[in-house]
Structure 1
Amino acid sequence: MPVKQESTLDALVRMRIRSLRKARGWSLDNLAERSDISPSQLSRIETGHRRISLDQLTAIASALGKSVDQLVESPDDSDVVIRPDRDEDRGLTTWLLSGDNGPQGLTVAKMRITDPAGAVAPDDLGVHPGRDWFTVLSGTVVLYLGERVIRVEAGQAASFSTMTPHTLRADRGPAEVLCILDHNGERNHLHASP
């Protein structure tokens, strides 16, 4: 079995090299020039007629603007399937949709809120620089914003300055929201306090 896994990963690396080269519109000669490996060696590497040495893999990765890790990452489903992060104490389940690829440093996340609306202690309200934006996908969210209590129902959205103390709770059952957060919002909303 390990031999099959190795050959599967080897074939995946070869396919990634070829696909990245072609996506850039490069011929074997173009990649050869950038990696200091002959076109014939590159051809044999891509077709599986030659094993890839570590120094060749490093040179190819660099020429393609990728890390070696990116070329050899496991072909499992972790880069495709987004698994939830459950925080039972906070009544929050989060799916981080944007990962490290959020536009302009923003994070996109889906959140399922089960913590019920009701009495909110001052310590429950957070403040941080920036703005938060969310739309309610299902259920109803109660937005505590300073002294204000605002109901936001499915199909509605909210945007507000996060310098105003705030928190979200679910009203009469779980609610799901899609939110866009800046770096400060991600740190304050998606990561539990120590």
Structure 2
Amino acid sequence: MTQDSELDALVRMRIRGMRAALGWSLDDLAERCHLSPSTLSRLETGHRRIGLDQLTAIARALGTTLDRLVESADDADVVIRPHHDEVRGTTTWTLSREAGAHGLTVAKIRITRPVRRGTEELRVHPGRDWFTVLSGTVVLLLGERTIRVEAGQAAEFSTMVPHAFGCDGGPAEVIGIFDPDGRRTHLRPGE
């Protein structure tokens, strides 16, 4: 099967699947995209080639975009691989591929390096950070304060306050939400 025919089959499956998920019959979708039910049936089953004008009308009727209907099904779109940073003592999984509302990014971080006041460079950047501890204990150096955040607890703070964080008593795992400045600082470009 060629790459074009694989994509063609994927698009047809997506159309049929979205139609079924909406609870629509062939007649329902055909009416909404101004095609005959028999034409739509032949498009879905592969007995007729899908024209760009038809695909655009079908996408609009299904409430999606043309891009979403024809996007690749590559495993890279599914599997999130970790990024290890030995120096910082972190392993990061960036969970949101595209920035969400207000440019926010969600990441899971495993922290293996302790943090000690006086030995850490406290960083400052615009914005706010938020994280919840999944396991272990995180020590957050925030200005002059040292804050322990235990499993099941969360922290949210202005990143204009000098800060650094690390683990205490063994590795810790967190889910963090970062604004664009926090992403650049904590997740590093290209992650």
TM-score, length of structure 2 as denominator length: 0.78
Distance 2:84 2:68 in 1: 28
Distance 2:99 2:105 in 1: 8
- Give the C-alpha shift of residue 104 in structure 1: 7.5
The amino acid of 2:31's aligned partner reads E
- Give the C-alpha shift of residue 103 in structure 1: 6.8
Q: Structure 2: which 5+ residue stretches go unaligned?
A: none
Distance 2:123 2:155 in 1: 17
From 86, 89, 92, the equivalent of 2:90 is 92
Per-residue Cα deviation, 1:122-163 (whole angstroms, up to 9, x for no partner): xx4123233x33222333322110111223333443233333
From 151, 156, 160, the equivalent of 1:159 is 156
- Larger fraction in helix: 1
Distance 2:71 2:79 in 1: 15
> Who is 2:175 aligned against?
178
The alpha-carbon distance between structure 1 residues 106 and 66, as it changes in their structure 2 partners (threshold 3 A), is: same
Q: Over the residues paired in the alignment, what is the CA RMSD in angstroms?
A: 2.9
Instruction: Within 5 Å, give how 1:45-194 maps onto structure 2.
Output: 45-100=43-98, 102=100, 106-118=104-116, 119-121=119-121, 124-130=122-128, 132-192=129-189
- Give the C-alpha shift of residue 89 in structure 1: 4.4
The number of residues matched between the two structures is 188
Is residue 143–residue 150 contact of structure 1 (8 Å, CA) maintained in 2?
yes
Is residue 126–residue 188 contact of structure 1 (8 Å, CA) maintained in 2?
no
The amino acid of 2:150's aligned partner reads E
The alpha-carbon distance between structure 1 residues 192 and 6, as it changes in their structure 2 partners (threshold 3 A), is: closer
Share of identical aligned residues, percent? 65
Distance 1:95 1:6 in 2: 32
Q: Structure 1: which 5+ residue stretches go unaligned?
A: none
TM-score, length of structure 1 as denominator length: 0.77
Matched residue of 1:100: which SS?
A: coil
